[in-house]
Structure formats: C-alpha cells, structure tokens
Amino acid sequence: MRILLVQVPTSHLGAGERVYPLGLSRLSGLIPPYMKKQALDMNLLPDPWPVLRDKLTEFQPDTVMLSFRNLDPLAGHQTSYLSSLKTAAQMARLLAPDAGIWAGGPAFSLFGERLMREIPEIDLGLISEGEIVFPKMISGEIPPESLPGVVWRKDGQIVANPLGEKTDLNALPPMDIRTFSPDDYMNGNMYVAAVGIEGKRGCDLQCGYCIYPCLGGRRMRLRSPEKIVDEMEFIHEKFGAKLFHFTDSVLNRPADHFEDVCRALIRRKLEVSWTGFFREDTLTQSQCDLALNAGLIAIYFSGDALSDHGLKVLNKHLTKADLFRASRITAESGVLTMCHFLMNLPGELPAHEAEVRETMERILEIHAPAGNLGAVILNTVRLYPGAPLTRRLLRRETLDPSTDLLYPVYYNPPATSHLLHELQARCHSAGIFSHLKLDGNMSF
C-alpha cells in the first residue's frame, strides 16, 4: 500500500503560526515499514496546492489520508475551513482516481456523517481517536467498514459505526519525526508554541459551549508524568524545542497529576518553558510556584463569563471570587496571564452590563501593578451541535432548528453587541498603560 498523509490547511494564510500535526504524526508512526508513505502538512506553505498536485501525480497513492483539524478560526470570524477539505478531496479524486480517500481529525469527528454527505469524494471517515483503529484499517486483514468509529457508504447511504475503546495514553505511539520533522515548525511563531504535549485526554466538566467531552470522552485519561517529560526531553534535545504547549483542556486538574508532572520536569532540569489552560478555582499559590519552578511561562484562563448570570448559563461552576483570586495569584507571581471571556451571552439583560464592566475593571486593576496581563481575549459563543448551550437554545426556540452549524454561527444579539467592542478598547488601553508603567487611572 502507498499512503499519502495530508494535513489540510486550517490556519489564517499569512499568519505565520505553525503548529506541529501531533495526531497525524502519531498515526504515521503506526504505518509498517514495508508500506510506502509520503506526507504533506499544507499549513507549512503559502501556496500548498501545487505541491499537493505534484505529490498526487508522482506518488500515485493507493490511499489518501486527509486530516481536518479545525472547522474555523473562532474569535468571531465568519471564515470556514471546509473549502480546504473539499478541494483536497476533489484534487485527490481527479489525480489519483483509483485511490481510497479517507478523512479524520477533530473537525471531521464533529461532523463526520455531514461531511461525508457534503464531500462525496471521501470514501471512509474515522471518528474520534485513531491510534487503535488506524493500524487495522490499513492492514488489509479486516474490512475497514467493520471497524468501530468508521463512517462509510453503503447502497447510497452513510453508515456510522459505534465508537470503540479509547486509547491508553501510556501506550501512545511516538511522533514520526522523520516524516513530520519538528525542525519545520521551530522558527517563526510569535504567539504560540509550535509543539503540543498531551498530558491527558477527555474532560469531566460540562461547560455549556464546549465539545471537548464529545471528542475526548467525559472522563479524564491521564498520561504518566514520566512519559510526558520523556517526550518533552526528547524533542528538546533532538530539535532544540524550548517552548511547549499542553493540549489538555484543563492542565491543573486533577491537581495531583499536574503537580507530579511539574516535579518530574524539575527533577530532569530541562531548560524548557511551557504554557497551558488552567482552571481558576483549583489554582493555588503553591501550585503556581511549583509550576513556575518547572518552566511555566504563561497561564491561560478561560473563565468565559464576567457575571454571575453568565457563569451559570455556561455551567462553569465558578464564581467571580474564583476569577479574582486566580488573578491575584498570577499577578503576585508575575507570570504572563491570558484571560478568555465570552460576551453577549444568552439571557443577559442591560442590568448585567454594569456587573460585566465592574468585573472586568477589577481584573484589570489586580493585574495593573504587575503589568503581567498579556491579553484579554473577548469573543462570542460559537454554537456547536450537541453542546449543552446549543440544546438549550433549541429548546427555548431561541435558535432556529434549521440553522446549519457546520458553518460559523455565533450567539450575538445585535442590540447588545457593542459591549464586546467597548471592553476590547478598555482592555487594550489598560494593557498598554500597564506595560508602560503609566498611571491611566481610567474607568469606563
């Protein structure tokens, strides 16, 4: 079998931010050496389509694997990456007409059956994790259509097989560094780490907007701290990587696992830095100190609401006091802090506006002396099918059931959308004044 692995474009053209295709690299490593393979991460090239054309024409693969990572760029953008997957599949069918065209990846997993209808060139799809199923798909010993998690075509219909067992994270295959060299991702990024590290998969929280539990499962599967640090050490020593980002939905839960990872990093004395998303209510000063000693360079918070009503609507199980306490910890520690909040939430009334402004002002005030608030990222809610908040809006007939959620749909009533822009302006001026040590003493 000749296999062509393709990471389709899912990033802003010209952004320059490169993210290592961790999932596809692990699957690549599972292809036995007697099979021939080539690979292409289309995100590495300003114009990748001629390169894809040449690979299809010259390699003539038996199977084309299309990995679809992101549906759209979020941040309120009305851009869809679906065209990337469509065009890649159409080109594969045209230039390698006898090849089987398979698709997978997080974005595909969310809309597998729909994407199979949307893109008739795709023969098979793989939903959820591939480490167990993929080797069986390519073995030739078992019809792929019989495997768990596979979406396929039968008599003009699309059939979705039930999901199978989840991957044991301590048995994760290593990255295929020959096929996908980390060297190609090391330089050029200004905002994000090029290499991700998996500490766990799954999430036992039930935040109203989130689809992580659908992708990784509703319970956390933990990876051995030693194996986590082994991988970081290997990539650091082999390729000089100095900054990593933990891909965990929440890094500091459970606390004992996270702290064990920090201690393992300290024991190895690795000269690396790392970032990740933290939960506010479980962050302690001692935990923050431990993480800083282990190489933490930036904390990301996703409190997601600035009012008691919003926190309840999003089912965050957080309070404003949790947000303030976490802000004080990071401000006192001086660690670079990024805060994410969602605006214009369902049920918010004009009466909530003052509370939202007051909460934002308090967070800015806490961070101002330390000048450590790197950014406040304000967005509106992207509605995904199956998310608790989406189901609630459908029940209350706030969302038209015919709305196509494959494309970017945000909850953002126009009458109150001004508040997001006003807060953005306030946070921008507060951040600039804080970093320049100017006493703006302004409120809004």
Q: Is the pLDDT of residue 106 over 70?
A: yes
In a domain, 380, yes or no: yes
Average pLDDT over residues 204-218: 89
* Per-residue confidence (pLDDT) for residue 289, from 0 to 100: 98
Average pLDDT over residues 295-311: 96
Q: Are residues 153 and 275 in the same domain?
A: no
Average pLDDT over residues 388-416: 93
- CA angle 203/205/207 to nearest 5° reads 115
* Per-residue confidence (pLDDT) for residue 344, from 0 to 100: 94
Q: Is the pLDDT of residue 209 over 80?
A: yes
* Per-residue confidence (pLDDT) for residue 438, from 0 to 100: 80
In a domain, 442, yes or no: no
Q: Are residues 345 and 307 in the same domain?
A: yes
Q: Are residues 272 and 417 in the same domain?
A: yes
Q: Is the pLDDT of residue 54 over 90?
A: yes
* Per-residue confidence (pLDDT) for residue 190, from 0 to 100: 76
Which segment of 17-31, 233-247, 254-268, 421-435 scores lowest on mean pLDDT?
421-435
Cβ atoms of 79 and 69 within 8 Å: the answer is no
* Per-residue confidence (pLDDT) for residue 437, from 0 to 100: 76
Exposure class string for 287-320: b at 16+ Cβ within 10 A, else e = bbbbbeebbbbbbbbbbbbbbebbbbbbbbebeb
In a domain, 441, yes or no: no
Q: Is the pLDDT of residue 442 over 90?
A: no
In a domain, 314, yes or no: yes
In a domain, 371, yes or no: yes
Q: Are residues 106 and 49 in the same domain?
A: yes
In a domain, 443, yes or no: no
Q: Are residues 281 and 148 in the same domain?
A: no
Q: Are residues 423 and 291 in the same domain?
A: yes
Distance CA 344, CA 349 (A): 9
* Per-residue confidence (pLDDT) for residue 444, from 0 to 100: 43
* Per-residue confidence (pLDDT) for residue 50, from 0 to 100: 98
The residue range of the domain holding 46 is 2-161
* Per-residue confidence (pLDDT) for residue 12, from 0 to 100: 61
Q: Are residues 79 and 222 in the same domain?
A: no
CATH classification of the domain holding 80: 3.40.50.280
Q: Are residues 398 and 291 in the same domain?
A: yes
Place of tokens 């053209």: 13
| HSE-up of residue 108 (Cα within 13 Å, Cβ side) | 29
Q: Are residues 289 and 342 in the same domain?
A: yes
Q: Are residues 218 and 294 in the same domain?
A: yes
In a domain, 284, yes or no: yes
Q: How confident is the model at residue 441 (pLDDT cuts 50, 70, 90)?
A: low
Tokens (6 digits) for 25: 């690299």
* pLDDT tens-digit series, residues 167-192: 999 999 999 999 999 999 988 787 78
Q: How confident is the model at residue 79 (pLDDT cuts 50, 70, 90)?
A: confident
Q: Are residues 208 and 317 in the same domain?
A: yes
Q: How many domains does the chain have?
A: 2
* Per-residue confidence (pLDDT) for residue 191, from 0 to 100: 76
CATH classification of the domain holding 361: 3.20.20.70
Q: Are residues 92 and 231 in the same domain?
A: no
**Pairing state between β 336-342 and 373-379:** parallel
* pLDDT tens-digit series, residues 247-291: 999 999 999 999 999 999 999 999 999 999 999 999 999 999 999
Distance CA 171, CA 363 (A): 42
Q: Is the pLDDT of residue 216 over 70?
A: yes
In a domain, 167, yes or no: no
